[in-house]
Structure 1
Amino acid sequence: MRVLVTGHQGYLGTVMVPMLLAEGHDVVGLDNGYFADCVLGPMPTNPPAIDVDLRDVTSRHLDGIDAVIHLAALSNDPLGSLAPEITYDINHHASVRLARAAKDAGVARFLYASTCSVYGSAGEDLVTEDAPLKPLTPYAESKVRVEDDAAALADSGFAPVFLRNATAFGFSPRLRADIVLNNLVGHAVLTGDVRVLSDGTPWRPLVHAQDIARAFITCLDAPTEAIYCAAYNVGTETNNLTVADIAASVVEAVPGSQLLITGESGPDPRSYRVDFSRARAGLGFEASWTIPDGARELYEAYTSYGLTEEAFFKRFTRLAQLEKLRAAGDLDTTMRRVSARA
């Protein structure tokens, strides 16, 4: 199958592309390169790519594509709060235009990377895909809007599926340091402290980047009726833990580290536990990586590749990297690459 992966030079895409290739898929990338050079360890090999901003994709760019895996987005809540109008332009409007272009080009499957954060503040009850969606941030709201608008495009020749990923963790050569487990392990390695700024009580479902990739590959291979306009939570109930419990796993993984729950940022309203049984029943998929395994993997990668404070706090933190590109004149006020327009 010829598969377009948007965001192929991002944290998830860098893990997913080699796994798709190993399954025999022909991969084409699309990425504006915000994080292409943000690498820890050996530089990844990139697939052939379409050189176009996500906001400018047309059906002609998608000729010959069998399936789209849409990962590209401004991908966290601080970014969305900083520039909500740009978040909606990229994450919502451009995503829907991509889905429409894919349909017009005869692409049969549209696999969309949504998020479990669409459930907002759901408390301690396990939420299923049928739970009310209560997004609390522009990032989560944009994901809900894309699900609704892409579903409206579905017909006999165009099957969208919405993979609501739990919070990602695990090593990727294009690392992210601003997601909870990756961040806590990095702080522990660099400072000796596992620092939790909230009170540690919010629930978080987590899933390894490799398990996310396996879920998308499963949806490429699944019967159309299993994915048609379906939403699937991606993760495992084993990894529904409080932030304090996640931090405790980091203390176990990083020798000599200590847990500090400061509470300085106040209570976090984002708290939810997720039910992942629909993916088991409908796709035969279940995530396999545990949080302790991921903490050990990250510790070994950080130490073997020589993670530094400069890289951790700047190069591998999304907001800091984008601010660096803007300050250097590489991005305009709409987050377009200046060099791409030259």
Structure 2
Amino acid sequence: MKVLVTGHEGYIGCVLVPLFQSAGHEVVGLDNGLFRGCDFDPPVLDCETLTLDIRDVEPKHLQGFDAVVHLAGISNDPLGDLNPRGTYDINHEASVQVARAAKAAGVPRFIHSSSCSLYGAAGDAPIDETGAFNPVTPYGESKVFVERDVTPMADDSFSPTFLRNSTAYGVSPRLRGDLVVNNLTGYALTTGEVLLKSDGTPWRPLVHIRDISRAFLAVMEADRSLVHGKAYNVGATKENYQMIDVARIVADVVPDSHIKIEEGAGPDKRCYRVDCDLITRELGFECEWTVRQGVEELYEAYKAHGLTLDEFTSSRYVRIRHVKSLIDGGQIDTNLRFKERGVA
């Protein structure tokens, strides 16, 4: 299949693109280059690239593709809180625009990177794809709006599918240090402290980015009738954790580290457990990674890299710091648009 992957230069995209290519698919990437230079290891992306903001995507850009895999967007809650209006513009309105452009261009499959964040404050009972939405951040709410607006587009010629990813972790050439498993492991190695910024009670489903990438591949290669208009929680039901339990795993893996709860930390209102059995029942998809394996992978990669605290907490790995540095440097405006297009 010929596949367009938006946000292909990001944290997940750098892992997903080679996976798709190894499965025999032709990949073209579309990215605005916002996080170029935020490298843990230089990404090896041997594919044609359209340097384009998703807010500017038109049907002409999507002609001739068999599928669009839509990863691009504001990637986390802190960035969403920095500019809530921009989050809705990009994650909601631009994502719907990409779907409309794909349909107008005759692209038959549209696979959207949604999030379990749309469940928000759901408590500690596992919630499946039929559960109520209760987002507590602009990021989570934007994901609800995309599903609401794109689902009615489904017809005989256009088939959308929504992958509600659990919270991601794992090593990537475009590493993010602001994701909980990556963050706790990085602090443990560089400071000896497994630093919890909540009281450790919130529940969160966790999934490795390679398993996220495999789920996208499984959906794209599945019979259309199985996935048409569907939403799937992506992860493993057994991989729901309270944050204190993740911290214990990190402390066990990283030598000479101990758990520390940040002063004044309280419960995080984002608390949800998810049931991920549907994607296994319908597509035979199962995750290959556990959090412990992910922490072991991260620890070894960080150690081999010679990671320091200053580097780990810098704008290279913390997305909100990178964006703020680009705004302060006059390279982008507060709507996250480049002031000059020279982002090659």
Q: Scaled by the length of structure 2, what TM-score is found?
A: 0.97
Aligned 1:152-301 pairs, distance under 5 A: 152-262=152-262, 264-301=264-301
Paired position in structure 1 for 2:150: 150
Instruction: Give the secondary-structure state (helix, strand or coil) at the position aligned to 1:11.
Output: coil
The letter of the residue matching 2:318 is T
Contact 1:198–1:263 (Cα < 8 Å) also in 2: no
Paired position in structure 2 for 1:316: 317
Contact 2:121–2:272 (Cα < 8 Å) also in 1: yes
The change in CA–CA distance for 1:341 and 1:307 in structure 2 (over 3 A counts) is closer
Paired position in structure 1 for 2:330: 329
Instruction: Give the secondary-structure state (helix, strand or coil) at the position aligned to 1:300.
Output: helix
Q: Which moved more, 1:44-53 or 1:4-13?
A: 44-53
Paired position in structure 2 for 1:98: 98
Paired position in structure 2 for 1:134: 134
* Distance apart, 1:44 and its partner CA: 2.4
Paired position in structure 2 for 1:84: 84
Distance in 1 separating the partners of 2:234 and 2:145: 19
Distance in 2 separating the partners of 1:195 and 1:298: 16
Distance in 2 separating the partners of 1:54 and 1:318: 18
Kindly report the root-mean-square deviation, in angstroms, between the aligned alpha carbons of the 2 structures.
1.2
* Distance apart, 1:313 and its partner CA: 1.2
* Distance apart, 1:341 and its partner CA: 7.3
Gaps in structure 1 of 5+ consecutive residues: none
Question: Residues 195-254 of structure 1, C-alpha deviation per residue, up to 9 Å, x if partnerless?
Answer: 112110000100000000000000111011111110000000221010000011101111
Gaps in structure 2 of 5+ consecutive residues: none
Give aligned pairs, total.
342
* Distance apart, 1:119 and its partner CA: 0.8
* Distance apart, 1:46 and its partner CA: 4.4
Question: Residues 47-72 of structure 1, C-alpha deviation per residue, up to 9 Å, x if partnerless?
Answer: 21112211000000001111000011
Distance in 2 separating the partners of 1:8 and 1:47: 10
Instruction: Give the secondary-structure state (helix, strand or coil) at the position aligned to 1:268.
Output: coil
Distance in 1 separating the partners of 2:6 and 2:310: 28
Distance in 2 separating the partners of 1:309 and 1:47: 34
* Distance apart, 1:43 and its partner CA: 3.7
Distance in 2 separating the partners of 1:341 and 1:209: 30
Distance in 1 separating the partners of 2:43 and 2:219: 28
* Distance apart, 1:263 and its partner CA: 5.4
Distance in 1 separating the partners of 2:25 and 2:307: 33
* Distance apart, 1:264 and its partner CA: 2.1
Give % identity: 50
The letter of the residue matching 1:217 is L
* Distance apart, 1:165 and its partner CA: 0.3
Question: Residues 122-165 of structure 1, C-alpha deviation per residue, up to 9 Å, x if partnerless?
Answer: 11211000001111110000000001111111110100000000
* Distance apart, 1:330 and its partner CA: 1.2
The change in CA–CA distance for 1:263 and 1:280 in structure 2 (over 3 A counts) is farther
The letter of the residue matching 1:321 is H
Paired position in structure 2 for 1:31: 31
The letter of the residue matching 2:303 is T
Q: Scaled by the length of structure 1, what TM-score is found?
A: 0.98
Paired position in structure 2 for 1:113: 113
The letter of the residue matching 2:21 is L
Paired position in structure 1 for 2:340: 339
* Distance apart, 1:261 and its partner CA: 2.1
Distance in 2 separating the partners of 1:185 and 1:267: 21
Instruction: Give the secondary-structure state (helix, strand or coil) at the position aligned to 1:259.
Output: strand
* Distance apart, 1:171 and its partner CA: 0.5
Contact 1:238–1:290 (Cα < 8 Å) also in 2: no
Q: Which moved more, 1:304-313 or 1:269-278?
A: 304-313
Distance in 2 separating the partners of 1:144 and 1:115: 9
Instruction: Give the secondary-structure state (helix, strand or coil) at the position aligned to 2:132.
Output: coil
Instruction: Give the secondary-structure state (helix, strand or coil) at the position aligned to 2:86.
Output: helix
Contact 1:40–1:307 (Cα < 8 Å) also in 2: no
Distance in 1 separating the partners of 2:300 and 2:41: 12
Structure 1 runs of 4+ off > 4 angstroms? none
Contact 1:200–1:263 (Cα < 8 Å) also in 2: no
